[in-house]
Amino acid sequence: MMSLDFLSILICSVLGLGLAIPSNTCIVMGNLDIIRKKGKLSTTDVIFLAKGIVNLLLQCVMSIEGMIHALWQTFLSVKGLNGFMDTSLYFLMYYNFWLTFWLSAHYCTTITNLSYGFFIWIKRIVSNFLSHLLFLTALGIFMVSIPWFWAVSEESIQSSENSTEVSGNTFHFSLPYVVPVTFLGCILPFCLSLLCLVLTSSFLLRHVWRVKNNDSGSTRPNLQAHVTALRTIFFLLLMFTFFCVSQIGLFFHSFSLIIISWNLQLFSPSVEAAVIFQASNKLRRIILRRFWTRSWRNTET
């Protein structure tokens, strides 16, 4: 009989799939509609499109792996399949984290207009070479994620050698693999994104303070777009923080922590889609117009 832990994974896998597929498909189709009408996308729209595609693939991999774990609990003993699934999972997660950094860097360099050479260089490559940058990032993250295959393989071998029956409740991770991979794929983009958030927030606060204390009588500028950008970075970093905290369960080999974090992560692509929708007025207008047109046609027929 299936345990409650694996039953919760199965339910969350199905629910996450049902929420993430429609929402992220709307993001992808909305950006493709913008390309069809305007011929090109802005920098933020390109990153949103990449995030939509990555979240679709990520949700499929997480849900499929969750269903396999729930329905086939000896999955950990299958060396090749388990390693391939985990490598794909962490590649998509880490690539999504780096997409968050490039989005944060774009907002930071656009809003703050810092004159330091490093920020000018970041702004130039993000504006002019974004497609090449995303491809090189994906290639680098793929190379970084490959060690997860051996980390998972060692876990499976140890589980089969140390017990006569493979237990799905035993998790072993090789620290020489996990620590550098987690740093390069998760901690480094998190710290860089946090730096961008701090710089952007401090610049806007100083700007608002100068405007409030300006006696020239000039009108106060509209900062709604900047506030939306800050809110977007903050929400994405909040999800980032949860993932970093959830990794603690890996190092303590806590099965309960892993189950809880896994169930919550199954909804992360859906939450990220909601963050993208609140950040993009164009996507909201396109989706609302499509649903309005479809519902209007249905009422006519």
**Residue 224: Cβ within 10 Å count:** 8
Residue 160 in any domain: the answer is yes
Determine the Cα–Cα distance for residues 27 and 45; give it in Å rounded to an integer: 9
CATH number at residue 200: 1.20.1070.10
Determine the Cα–Cα distance for residues 108 and 226; give it in Å rounded to an integer: 10
Residue 223 in any domain: the answer is yes
Residue 299 in any domain: the answer is no
Residue type, 241: T
Determine the Cα–Cα distance for residues 103 and 41; give it in Å rounded to an integer: 14
Question: Is the pTM here over 0.75, yes or no?
Answer: yes
Residue numbers of the domain that contains 162: 4-294
For the stretch 156-212, pLDDT in tens is: 434 444 443 434 444 555 666 777 888 888 889 999 999 989 988 988 888 778 777
Determine the Cα–Cα distance for residues 118 and 127; give it in Å rounded to an integer: 14
Determine the Cα–Cα distance for residues 233 and 157; give it in Å rounded to an integer: 41
For the stretch 46-100, pLDDT in tens is: 999 999 999 999 999 999 988 887 777 665 555 667 778 888 888 999 999 999 9
Handedness of CA 154, 88, 96, 16 (dihedral sign): negative
Overall domain count for the chain: 1
How buried is residue 116: exposed, middle or buried, by Cβ count under 10 Å (0-12/13-18/19+)? exposed
Residue 301 in any domain: the answer is no
